[in-house]
Amino acid sequence: MNENKARSRLDQRRAPIYEALERFRQMRVVPFDVPGHKRGRGNPELTAFLGQQCVGVDVNSMKPLDNLCHPVSVIREAEELAADAFGAAHAFLMVGGTTSSVQSMVLTACKRGDEIILPRNVHRSVLNALVLCGAVPVYVNPEVDKRLGISLGMKREQVAKAIKEHPSAVAVLVNNPTYYGICSDLRAIVKMAHDAGMLCLADEAHGTHFYFGGGLPVSAMAAGADMASVSMHKSGGSLTQSSLLLIGPNVHQGYVRQIINLTQTTSGSYLLMSSLDISRRNLALRGRQVFHQVADIAEYAREEINAVGGYYAFGKELCNGDSVFDFDTTKLSVHTLDIGLAGIEVYDILRDEYDIQIEFGDIGNILAYLSIGDRPQEVERLVSALAEIKRRYRTDGSGLLSQEYIDPVVAASPQEAFYAPKKSLPLRETEGMVCSEFVMCYPPGIPILAPGERITKEILNYIEYAKAKGCSMTGPEDPEILHLNVLA
């Protein structure tokens, strides 16, 4: 049972969308509507690949199944159950990924010219939203752990300073947690924002389990945040691209729905929505027990990997009461530079030689994402592979870069720079210019450069190093990243 069950008013054993689809399946309705595959009959190869059970419920909105743009029946009930399970005033089912949730959250809070306080190590979806709405970022540059080369959370005094210097800002956005599991002091930041008349928004793409786990960091809704974007498909078990947007009592539900409908599809996938419905039920009924097991497996893996030597699987020992206020113990983040290999190199070896696919590797670390589907035997296999990689590939690590985060120099707002007249220049000729596009390693999808930021020698060195090490680089118009677009 989840932590909110004591105040639950609704029957969390229900799954209204799933139940409606099962009723619909039994009706044997003749389809003269979209989708054109007509329950799979028109595309036998697709049906053979995905199965009749799947394509048979890949259907369009209709009265018995409700409509995601304006839900009044089964989708509405599913949203109410989700809000109840997550302790929110309202929940919206999102079928455009947590990117869509984050953008709707920012577009609800901000309009053109508004300032929003946020850490620079945000996912690209946040900065994309600023391009769309014209809001201006006020960055709280996070501290960096010098040994690990990773950015940490926002310090309370930094947030307080930003609020004092930008009293007209409309919101503060917080990562809860970062990709590496680092959490800021969310309760304190919520209070500071509210005391200043600002909203507090939380990107909880990697924090679904916070709502259902004892001993895990505080969730955004429990901390009093106004909005939170929750990646149900990451640690919650739903299908890829399905997400939730949660809101607190001080945000107007009808306005948020209008914002969502500006960009979200009018053909919401019932496969995604039913997966959210079923996964919410699973977490509400069994989440606390399941995530306790996940945390135990992760702790065991940390101990075993650290016993191998050379690696550093970091955990709660990083907590310092401020920039690392708390740590998500389900995150299995491992520093690799001490064995002389960049994280991305270990990532590639694990996949190519051991058939182990981890979440990502960057220039100093890897992340193995543990969740409700993991078992101890797979963790044992990962630990054994890492031990063997150390034995086979260990080398001198001198000359390896470690810094994952470089403080940006902001010269223009993301929207201004993105839409401004621009020119394409060879990479090394862009030093000192203002970038008009994104450059990032994906995952984790945190921009190295964003539109409006000045290009420095340090950034160019980082880009070339990350490319050489095999990081998957995305963002620029030039797919080879030999040229960058800069302000003309």
Q: What is the pLDDT of residue 8?
A: 58
Q: How many other β-carbons are positioned within 10 Å of the β-carbon of residue 188?
A: 16
Q: What is the pLDDT of residue 56?
A: 94
Q: Give the global pTM.
A: 0.94
Q: Which CATH code fits 286-393?
A: 3.90.1150.10
Kindly indicate whether the domain formed by 63-284 is annotated with CATH number 3.30.2090.10. no
Q: What is the pLDDT of residue 354?
A: 98
Strand locations in 287-394 (E): 312-313, 326-327, 331-335, 360-361, 365-369
CA 147 from centre of chain: 24
Q: Are 164 and 172 in contact (CB under 8 A)?
A: no
Q: Are 174 and 123 in contact (CB under 8 A)?
A: no
Question: Looking at this protein, which amino acid is placed at residue 422?
Answer: K
Side by side, which strands form the sheet with 243-247? Answer: 90-94, 243-247, 227-230, 199-204, 171-175, 115-119, 136-140
Query: Distance between CA atoms of 78 and 25, rounded to whole angstroms?
Result: 19
Q: For 406, which DSSP code? A: -
Per-residue pLDDT reduced to its tens digit, 230-245: 999 999 999 999 999 9
What string of pLDDT tens digits covers the 488 residues of the chain?
344 444 457 999 999 999 999 999 999 889 999 999 999 999 999 999 999 999 999 999 999 999 999 999 999 999 999 999 999 999 999 999 999 999 999 999 999 999 999 998 999 999 999 999 999 999 998 888 988 989 999 999 999 999 999 999 999 999 999 999 999 999 999 999 999 999 999 999 999 999 998 899 999 999 999 999 999 999 999 999 999 999 999 999 999 999 999 999 999 999 999 999 999 999 999 999 999 999 999 999 999 999 999 999 999 999 999 999 999 999 999 999 999 999 999 999 999 999 999 999 999 999 999 999 999 999 999 999 999 999 999 999 888 887 766 788 899 999 999 999 999 999 999 999 999 999 988 777 788 999 999 999 999 998 998 888 888 888 999 989 999 999 99
Kindly list the domain boundaries of the chain, sorted by start residue: 15-62, 63-284, 286-393, 414-487
Q: What is the pLDDT of residue 404?
A: 65
Q: What is the pLDDT of residue 142?
A: 87
Per-residue pLDDT reduced to its tens digit, 77-100: 999 999 999 999 999 999 999 999
CATH class of the domain whose range is 414-487: alpha beta
CA dihedral 472, 475, 481, 487 (to 10 degrees): -160
